[in-house]
Amino acid sequence: MQTAHDALAPTVGGGQAAAAIEAQGLVKTYPGGVRALDGLGFAVQAGTVFGLLGPNGAGKTTTVKILTTLSRPDAGRARVAGLDVLRQPDQVRRLIGVVAQHSGVDREATGRENLTLQGLVHGLRGRELRRRVAGLLERFGLAEAADRVVGGYSGGMQRRLDIALGLVHRPQVLFLDEPTTGLDPEVRADLWEEIARLATGEGLTILLTTHYLEEADRLASRLAIVDHGRIVVEGTPDGLKRELRGDAVQVELAEPEPDARVSGALDRLDTVREVTLEGRSLRARSDSGATAVPSVLAALESAGVKVASVTVARPSLDDVYLRYTGRAFGEADEGGQ
Amino acid sequence: MTTTLSHSWFMTRRHLRNLARQPWWIAITLVQPIIWLLLFGAVFKATVDIPGFAAASYVDFLTPGIVVMTALFSGGWAGMGVIDDLNRGVIDRFLVSPAQRGALIAGRLIQLAIVSLIQSLIVILLGLLLGARFPGGPLGLLVLVAFSSLLGAAIGALSNGMALLARKEETVIAVSNFILLPLTFLSSAFMQRDLIPGWVQRVARFNPVDWTVQAGREALGTQTDWGFVLARFGWLLCLAVACAWLATRAFRSYQRSV
C-alpha cells in the first residue's frame, strides 16, 4: 500500500493541467459477494465536466461514494483535487461538493436553514454566510420558498436545493450523482441548463453520473461508459459517435413475417453494412445514409419486400452503448434494477 | 476541539428546531411522563402499606422513579432520529462534509438532555402538586435531574450507535422494546430496594437505571450520603463517555457498509 501511494505522488502538484480527479484500479466488493467495482479507473481534467454513463448497478454510485470519502475501496487508489481520498479524507471534504443520488436535504428545516447549517459546517460565518446563502437561494430560484419547510418543496425544488447545498463553500470539484433521476422532463431540462451554466461559469470540475444517454451527451465534455464495475470505453461524446462511422439506417417492413430473403437482398449492396433484422425492423449502418436509402429501397422492392417506413439517424450514444457492451441501453438498465 | 464544540452546537440547534416544528411530538413527549406518574401512582398506591416501606407517601417515592424512567425511554428511542436521517441521506451529506463525527452524536445527546430536563421539571412539578415532599430541596432535585439527563444521554448514545449499525427502524424498535422495560423494573424505580427479590437486587447493582434512581433518592432524602451520590455520578459519567465514544466509532462501521 505504501509504495503504491508513493508511486502516485509525482502526478500531484506537478503544475501542468493536473487532473482534478484520478481513480486507478478501484475494486469494491460488498458483503454477500456483489462486486460493484472491478478495476475501474479514469482521470478528469480540471475545469471540465466528465460523465460516467451506465445502467443502474453498473458501479457509478459506488465510485462516487469512494471519491467523496464516504466509502473505501478494497483495492485501488484515488485522488481528488490533488489529495489522496484514503489518506487525506478531511482535506478532501473541504474541497468537494456532493449531490448524492438520493436527496440529502433536511425536510423539517427551511431551505435557508439547510444552506446556513451547511455553510456553518464548512466554516462560513456571519454576514459572509448570510450573503452566500441568499445568493444561492436567488440563483436556484428558491428565494420565494427560502423560509418554507423543505418537506413542502416539489421534487425539482428539492433537487435544486441539493445542488445549492453542494456549492455553499465554493468547492473545487462537484459530484453530481444522477442529478435528474426521477424528475419530470421539463424540470430535467431546467436542471440541465443550470448544470451547463455551472460548468462554464466557475472553473468547477464536475463529475456527473447518469443513466440518461441524452444527459451525458448534453452536459459532459468527456464521458466513460461503465458496465459491470469497469470502464468499457472513454472519449468525447462526438468522438465516440464518430468512431461508429456512419449513419444508422432503419427500415420498418410491412411484411408480417420477414425472412432471410430480406437481409439477403441487402447483403449484395455496398452502400450499407452491419445489416441486422429484429422483428420487423431492419437496421444497417452507412457512410452516407441519405445516398444509401434509394439503393436499399430498390433492393428490397426487387426482392418483393414491402416497406412501411425508412429513417436515417446520426449515430447516438445509444449506438455507442450497444456497440461496446453488446446490449441495448434500455435492456441493460432493466437488468440492473 | 473548538470545532467539535461549535459543530455540536450547530447540530443541537438543528435538532431542537426540528422538534419544535412537530407539535404532536411535543404534546406526546410532555404528556407521557404525566400519565406515567398518575397511572403508576394510582395502581401501586397500596405499596405504602407494605410493612417496612419507608416513604410517607408513594408519590414521594415514585416521582424520582418516573423522572429517571422518562429520561431512559427518551434515550432508548433516540436512535429513531438517526434512522430517519440515514434514510433521508442527511447523515451521508454530513459525512462527506467537514462536520465532526463526534458533533453529529453530541448534538443529538445535548438535545436529548435538554428535552429530558424539561420533562423532569414537569414531572417534579406535578409530583409537588400531588403532595410529594423532598427534604433534599433544590440541590437534591438538581442532582436528580442532572443524573437523569446523563443517563438519558448514555442510553441515547447507545441507541444512536445501534441505529448506525443496524440501519433499520424495525431493529431499533425491537431492541428498545426488549431492553427498556426490563431495565426499569430491574431497579428500585417502583419499589424500595430491600423489598424487591434478592436476585433483582443483585442485578440492579449493575443497572445504570438503579444507580440513577438510588442517587436521586439519596440526594432528595433527609441525610444525604454525598459519597454515595458522587460515586454513582462517576459511574454514570464513565458510562456516558464510553457510550458516546462507541456511537462515534459506529460511523466507521456504517461507512464500511455503504
Domain co-membership, A306 together with A204: no
More confident call, A290 vs B35:
B35
Contacts of A65 in chain B (CB under 8 A): 258
Residue B90 C-alpha, separation from nearest chain A C-alpha, in angstroms: 5
Residues A67 and A141 in one domain: yes
Considering the domain architecture, whether residues A133 and A176 belong to the same structural domain is answered as yes
Look at residue A331 in the predicted model and tell me its pLDDT: 59
Strand A173-177 and strand A96-99: pairing? parallel
Q: A107 vs A112, B21, B29, B93, CA distance in Å?
A: 12, 11, 21, 13
Strand order in the sheet with A205-210: A96-99, A173-177, A205-210, A49-53, A222-227, A230-235
Q: Are A103 and B88 within 8 A, CB to CB?
A: yes
Residue A53: in which H helix or E strand, if any? strand A49-53
CB contact under 8 A, A70 and B255: yes
SS3 A285: strand
The overall average pLDDT reported for chain A is: 87
| Cell numbers 436512535: residue | B79
Instruction: Confirm whether A334 is domain-assigned.
Output: no
Alpha carbon A217 to chain centroid, angstroms: 8
Q: What pLDDT digit, counting tens, does each position of B146-156 carry? A: 999 999 999 99
Say if residue A218 is in the same domain as residue A278: no
Q: Does residue A295 lie within any of the structural domains?
A: yes
- Are residue A236 and residue A250 in the same domain, yes or no? no
Cβ-defined contact of A121 to B97 (cutoff 8 Å): yes
Residue contact A90–B98, C-beta within 8 A: yes
Which of chain A's residues have a Cβ under 8 Å away from the Cβ of B258? 65, 70-71
Q: How would residue A1 be classed by pLDDT, with cut points 50, 70 and 90?
A: very low
How far is residue A237's CA from residue A49's CA, in Å, rounded to a whole number? 12
- A11 pLDDT above the threshold of 50: no
Write the CATH number for A299. Answer: 3.30.70.100
Domain count, chain B: 1
Of chain B, the percentage scoring pLDDT greater than 90 comes to 88
Which of A1-15, A280-294, B78-92, B123-137 bottoms out in mean pLDDT, i.e. has the lowest? A1-15
> By residue range, what is the domain housing residue A64?
2-241
The pLDDT confidence band at residue A277, using thresholds 50, 70 and 90, is: confident
Residue A2 has pLDDT above 60, yes or no: no
| ipTM (interface pTM) | 0.90
Full-model pTM: 0.85
Same domain assignment for residues A109 and A201 = yes
pLDDT tens digits, one per residue of B236-250: 999 999 999 999 999
**Residue B41: what pLDDT?**
92
Cell numbers placing A273? 453494412
**Chain A contacts to B (CB-CB under 8 A):** 31, 65, 68-72, 90, 93-94, 96, 98, 100, 102-109, 113, 117-118, 120-123, 149, 165
- Whether the per-residue pLDDT at A13 is higher than 70: the answer is no
Query: Which candidate from B21, B256, B258 shows the least CB-CB separation from A149?
Result: B21
B92 with A118: Cβ contact below 8 A: no
Q: What is the pLDDT of residue A332?
A: 55
A9 and A112: one domain?
Answer: yes
| Of the candidate ranges A40-49, A191-200, B241-250, the one whose mean pLDDT is the lowest | A191-200
Contact B23/A at CB under 8 A: no
The domain of B180 spans 2-257
Is pLDDT of A213 > 70?
yes
pLDDT of residue B95: 97
Of the partner residues B17, B90, B92, the one whose CB lies closest to the CB of residue A70: B92
Q: What are phi and psi of A232, to 5 degrees?
A: -90, -40
Neighbours of B232 (CB within 10 A): 23
Tell me whether B98 touches chain A (CB under 8 Å).
yes
Does A332 reside within a domain?
Answer: no
Confidence bin at B12 (pLDDT 50/70/90): very high
Q: Minimal CA–CA distance to B181: which of B40, B10, B51?
A: B40
Q: Which chain B residues touch A122 with a CB distance below 8 Å?
A: 97-98
Residue A327 falls inside a structural domain: no
Over range A169-195, report the average pLDDT: 91
Collect all residues of chain B within an 8 Å Cβ-Cβ radius of residue A179: none
Distance CA A155, CA A183 (A): 7
The radius of gyration of chain A's CA atoms, rounded to the nearest angstrom, is 24
A148 and A273 fall within a common domain = no
* pLDDT above 80 for B228: yes
Asked whether residue B76 carries a pLDDT value surpassing 60, the answer given is yes
Q: B96–A68: do the CB atoms touch at under 8 Å?
A: yes
Confidence of residue A267 (pLDDT cuts 50, 70, 90): confident
Residue A270 lies in a domain: yes
Q: What's the confidence (pLDDT) of residue A183?
A: 86
Instruction: Say whether pLDDT at A129 is over 50.
Output: yes
Considering the domain architecture, whether residues A135 and A172 belong to the same structural domain is answered as yes
Local confidence band at A17 (pLDDT 50, 70, 90 cut-offs) = low
Res A187: pLDDT = 87
The more confidently predicted of residues B17 and A272 is B17
Q: Judge whether residue A8 has pLDDT over 70.
A: no
Stretch B156-172: mean pLDDT? 95
| A258 and A215 share one domain | no
Cβ–Cβ below 8 Å for B99 and A121: yes
pLDDT of residue B2: 87
Question: Do B89 and A149 count as a contact with CB atoms less than 8 A apart?
Answer: no
What does pLDDT average to over chain B?
A: 94
Q: What is the CATH number of the domain that holds A7?
A: 3.40.50.300
B99 pLDDT more than 80: yes
Task: Please check whether residue A320 lies inside any domain of the structure.
Answer: no
Confidence of residue A141 (pLDDT cuts 50, 70, 90): very high
pLDDT of A106 higher than 50: yes
Based on the domain organization, do A260 and A174 belong to the same domain? no
Question: Residues B187-203: pLDDT tens digits?
Answer: 999 999 889 999 999 99
| Residue A43 parent element (H or E) | strand A34-45
Q: Are residues A218 and A305 in the same domain?
A: no
CA distance B124 to chain A (A): 31
Residues A224-242 have a mean pLDDT of 91
Q: How many domains does chain A have?
A: 2
Mean pLDDT within A67-83:
96
Is B127 a residue whose pLDDT tops 60? Answer: yes
Binned at pLDDT 50, 70 and 90, residue A246 comes out as confident
